[in-house]
Every structure is written in C-alpha cells, then in structure tokens.
Amino acid sequence: MEVAWSCLDWPGVEHVRWSDQDGLRVDSNAVMAFPDGAARIAYRIEAAPDGATTWVEVELVREHAVRRIAVSGDGLGAWRDESGAPLPELAGCLDVDISITPFTNTLPIRRLGLRPGQAADLRVLYIKLPELELSVSPQRYTRLDAAGGGERYRYESPGFRADLPVDEHDLVLDYPEGWRRERT
C-alpha cells in the first residue's frame, strides 16, 4: 500500500510504501525544507508479526553529504548498532519514532490494539532529524471514543500532545499542525 503526507511545519512531502504480510515492511522517501536547509530522507522499518520493531535504517542527504544510521532489535526491547554492539540505553523500546513522519505513530497503535478508553505508557526509540540522533522518548497512547465512526488516539510525549485520527489501517490521517494526509 502507499500513502503520502504533506508537512505543515515547513515545506515537505513524504511518500510511504508498506506491506503487512508476515510482519510490517516500510519504505519511505521524504523531501524536507528544514529551517536550516533542504534534505532528502529515506527510511526503512521492519516489524515482527506481533508488531515489535526489529530494524530501522534512516539515511539523510544534505548538500551532497550522506549520513546514515541503522539499528536492529530483537523484538523484546534489546537493540544493537550495525556492528552488532549492544545499545543498552535503548533497552525496553519496542517501537521507533522518527521525528519527521506521522507514519511511526502507526507502529505502537497497531502493536498495542487498545480498546476505547485504554492507554499505554511506552519507552520508544526516538530518532531526531535532521540531527540523526538516537534517544529514548517516554510516550503515552490513549484510544479515544470513536467520533463519527473513526478511531482517534491521543499521543503524548514530554511537552507535547495531539489527538490523531487514523484510518482502517491505523495510519494517521491528519497530525494537528504537523502533517496532512494526501489522497493517493
């Protein structure tokens, strides 16, 4: 399947192709005009059939320089860098959140399978762009009552909160003041 979002914070667009046969496979390309310059970003994500993220790779191209990061997870919360070295600071993270995309909100929403009124607190592997920095982000997802037949989730992280409407595939339709889904 394919989806596209337009960025509302700065000029930019993202195109995502994904498949959920035998787990989740995601391939995305985005072009962003960040306040400090343009960039092309490509990322790939793999998740196990139970929804836990098992691999993520992000490539950032700016002014002919290519920077890349890739990490793999065991699906139980342990992570390693590309050389196989453990990343104990990321222990307990089952999902990844890439700062420039609404797609990664789909990962915990699908994995958790919350019913209306249920909430979950998570440790999420956060990749900040354009810096390409890894950290842990405490996040909370709450499934809200359906309004007009559609599902909505409240996403919270330190200093931020947004109510996200999702489609039948748990993909974000609109991210308030951040992203708008385009018709594809």
Q: Scanning the structure block, which residue is given the tokens 């003041």?
A: 177
Please give the structure tokens belonging to residue 121. Answer: 């607190």
CB atoms within 10 A of CB 149: 5
pLDDT tens across 22-68, in order? Answer: 899 999 999 999 888 899 999 999 999 999 999 999 999 998 899 99
Q: What is the pLDDT of residue 149?
A: 65
CA quadruple 134, 139, 141, 147: dihedral sign: negative
Residue 83, class by beta-carbon neighbours within 10 Å (0-12 exposed, 13-18 middle, 19+ buried)?
exposed
Q: What is d(CA 8, CA 145) in angstroms, rounded to the nearest whole number?
A: 26
Estimate to the nearest angstrom the gap between the alpha carbon of 139 and the chain centroid: 12
Domain containing 93: what range? Answer: 2-182
Rounded to two decimals, the pTM is 0.93
Strands 2-7 and 12-19: antiparallel
How many domains does one find in the chain?
Answer: 1
184 residues of the chain, pLDDT tens digit each: 999 999 998 899 999 999 988 899 999 999 999 888 899 999 999 999 999 999 999 999 998 899 999 999 999 999 999 999 999 999 999 999 999 999 999 999 999 999 999 999 999 999 999 999 999 999 999 999 766 667 899 999 999 999 999 998 999 998 888 899 987 6
Structure tokens at 108: 């915990």
- Tokens 């950032």 label which residue? 60
